[in-house]
A = this chain, B = another copy of it.
Amino acid sequence: MTVGEQRSFGSYEVTEAEILAFAERYDPQWFHTDPERAREESVFGGLAASGWHTTAMTMRLLVDHHFSEAASYGAVGVDELRWPNPTFPGETLSVTVEVLAKTPSESKPDRGTVRTQLTTANEDGEPKLTMQPIVLYARRDSGE
């Protein structure tokens, strides 16, 4: 992908069972683990996925549809991670990535970092997660 290029992919069906399983293990707050109380008391209006679960589901979409095993050395980090809306059971998530910048390594010319703007949204285009991952990549001869 070149700078400015955009790509959308994936289709992840969010289930209540998976929301509960993730939250019970990693984020056991009642608005992620108790459907009845969440329906009655949560500001979200119902059981919502842990933000870290939305991030994890996004990672699965990236691995399945976007990463090239040969080319990526893994993520350096992530900037500006936000959860603009909660993720609910029954929604289907997809991911859009746009390349913001490519920076060749000064010490190792065969690699560089790529910064992307990533958005995870539901089937209506409502954004659930936005972030800027910075990933270390092998550079092809073309510099692409």
The digit string for A15-58, where 1 denotes a CB below 8 A from any CB of B, is 00000001001111111000000000001000000111001110
Identical copies in the complex: 2
List 29 A–B pairs whose Cβ atoms lie within 8 Å, in order of A's numbering. Answer: A22-B56, A25-B60, A26-B56, A26-B57, A26-B59, A26-B60, A27-B63, A28-B63, A29-B63, A29-B67, A29-B69, A30-B69, A43-B73, A50-B59, A51-B74, A52-B52, A52-B55, A52-B56, A55-B55, A56-B56, A75-B83, A76-B83, A77-B81, A77-B82, A77-B83, A78-B78, A78-B81, A79-B80, A79-B81
For chain A, give the interface size range. 20 to 34
Q: In the bound complex, do residue A75 and residue B51 qualify as a contact, i.e. CB atoms below 8 Å apart?
A: yes
Cα–Cα, bound, A51→B136 (Å):
14
